[in-house]
Amino acid sequence: MYPKNGNIHTYIYACIHTYIHTYVQTYIHNKVTHICIQKMGIYIHTYIHTYIHTYIRTYIHTYIHTYVHTYIHTYIHTHTYIHTYSIHTYIHTFIHSNIHTCIYTHTHVSTCIHR
């Protein structure tokens, strides 16, 4: 329905204005929201990834290495050389083939656990 003053330009302007506010604005809002969520997701992923590589990886590697060399290593060296060498080699091989590989090659945790 045309406006009461009969001005077609006012009517067209009102239609366009309404269209912008209902469709375009909603579309832009959804698009911006989607982009923000994506960016936030990338940010969170990057933050977690960085945290894992700087703190957790270093901590786990240091902890395991320290544990092996203080407790197990000391215990093993009280036995014979052959026994010591074989167990030491086995432990080192296990760490480097399982835990070390999983952490350093970005393998998923589930893969590491079920390895």
Residue at 71 is within a domain? yes
Could you tell me if 60 and 95 are in contact, meaning their C-beta atoms sit under 8 angstroms apart? no
Could you tell me if 53 and 104 are in contact, meaning their C-beta atoms sit under 8 angstroms apart? no
Q: Rounded CA gap, 50 and 56, in Å?
A: 10
Could you tell me if 8 and 2 are in contact, meaning their C-beta atoms sit under 8 angstroms apart? yes
Tally of structural domains, the chain: 1
pLDDT in tens, 36-80: 767 777 777 777 777 777 776 677 777 777 776 676 666 665 555
**Does the pLDDT of residue 104 top 70, yes or no?**
no
pLDDT, position 84 = 54
**Which structural domain range is residue 36 located in?**
8-113
Residue at 2 is within a domain? no
pLDDT, position 58 = 74
Mean of per-residue pLDDT scores for the chain: 65
Tokens of 63: 């902890």
